[in-house]
Amino acid sequence: MKVLITGGAGFIGSHLSEKFLNEGKKVVSVDDLSTGSYENISHLTNNKNFQFVYETIFNETVVDRIVSECDMIVHLAAAVGVELVMSNQVKVIETNIHGTDTILKIANRYRKKILIASTSEVYGKNDKTPFSETDDFLMGATINARWSYACTKAIDEFLALAYHKEFNLPVIIVRLFNTVGPKQTGQYGMVIPRFVKQALKSENITVYGDGNQTRCFCHVTDVCQALSKLLYSPKAVGEIVNVGSNYEITIRDLALKIIKQTKSKSNIKMISYEKAYQSGFEDMLKRVPDISKVKKLVNFVPVKSLEEIIYDVKDYMLKTGRY
């Protein structure tokens, strides 16, 4: 069994590569290292079942050859992270739409099963709790750059479902909620690595907005377990599935928890969204997944606690000096 992982040198992709290799599968990882890094996968490069290809998924010739030699595809390559989305919109839109279009077209050419990573962002400003897969999208105005990421991922979902409906391509769409763990970088706006880094450096922990917005965080090893189970489940084909944790915490409480758990001297500093991003930035107050579908389909429930997530992120940063 040989799996192509696009974005395989990224945060989730590197963990998934490791999991698949441990299960005895062969992995080809294609990544342009735009937000991912070689360090994430350097420990795998001696494994004879692992191949890293430093390339963009826009290179159709290379991707075509790799897909023709693989059994399945996990498509994770994307331009990700709120800060990147706010500052580099053209890249985000081009990567997420053109990249997914390319990979779906080639997957269809060789009739290969493909799992596509989508996001909880597609629920937009819908204030329902929890979100289930058939809930409406509620996007803000296009003048607000924040929504472009969600719209690109929604288009990816439409396109994947269309390939399934029109050409019977086996596709699985996974809407990931906040996924966290070692190797994730705070550089592009991911909140837990950013807070842990600030705590370890005894800097102010910068909470954006009023801090009352809540999020649910799922450990990356739990997420990889769900992705692996879904990839091998015939029942998941043609489905959209939420994957994440439904344990909710406010961002202010998260900052306090990280200060306590890291025994940091940091203080909390509140920063308005306007200052952190740009005027008109909109955020969602809550984002809780309904995870009954993934449980029903593949009997998945996340097992790692928020304390374990914080511990693992801190431990990784201290061991590698990457903070």
**Active site residues per annotation:** 149
Contact with ligand NAD (CB under 6 A) among 3, 4, 5, 12? 12
Residue 9 binding ligand NAD, by CB under 6 A: yes
Residues 57-76 that bind ligand NAD (CB under 6 A): 57-58, 76
Q: Which two tokens stand for residue 34?
A: 């735009």
Distance from C-alpha of 194 to C-alpha of 251, rounded to nearest angstrom: 12
Contact with ligand NAD (CB under 6 A) among 36, 124, 193, 302? 36
Spacing of C-alpha 283 from chain mean position: 18
Contact with ligand NAD (CB under 6 A) among 32, 157, 222, 239? 32
Number of residues that bind ligand NAD (CB under 6 A): 29
Residue with Cβ nearer ligand NAD (121 or 281): 121
Residue 80 binding ligand NAD, by CB under 6 A: yes
Torsion of CA 149, 157, 140, 242, to 10 degrees: -90
Give 106-153 as a DSSP string: HHHHHT-EEEEEEEGGGGBT---SSB-TTSPPB---TTSTHHHHHHHH
Residue with Cβ nearer ligand NAD (224 or 255): 224
**Would you say how long the chain is, in residues?**
323
Contact with ligand NAD (CB under 6 A) among 5, 11, 50, 207? 11
Residues 219-278 that bind ligand NAD (CB under 6 A): none
Pick the stretch among 19-27, 50-58, 229-237, 253-261 that binds ligand NAD (CB under 6 A).
Answer: 50-58
CA count, 13 A, side-chain hemisphere, 141: 4
Distance from C-alpha of 278 to C-alpha of 134, rounded to nearest angstrom: 31
Residue with Cβ nearer ligand NAD (6 or 266): 6
Within 8 A by CB and 6+ apart from 9, the residues are 29, 31, 33, 36, 37, 38, 40, 41, 52
Contact with ligand NAD (CB under 6 A) among 95, 148, 262, 264? 95
For the CB of residue 10, give the shortest distance to ligand NAD in the complex, in Å.
2
Residues 163-222 that bind ligand NAD (CB under 6 A): 176, 178-179
Distance from C-alpha of 32 to C-alpha of 238, rounded to nearest angstrom: 29
Site residues (vs ligand NAD, CB under 6 A): 6-7, 9-13, 30-36, 56-58, 76-80, 95, 99, 117, 119, 176, 178-179
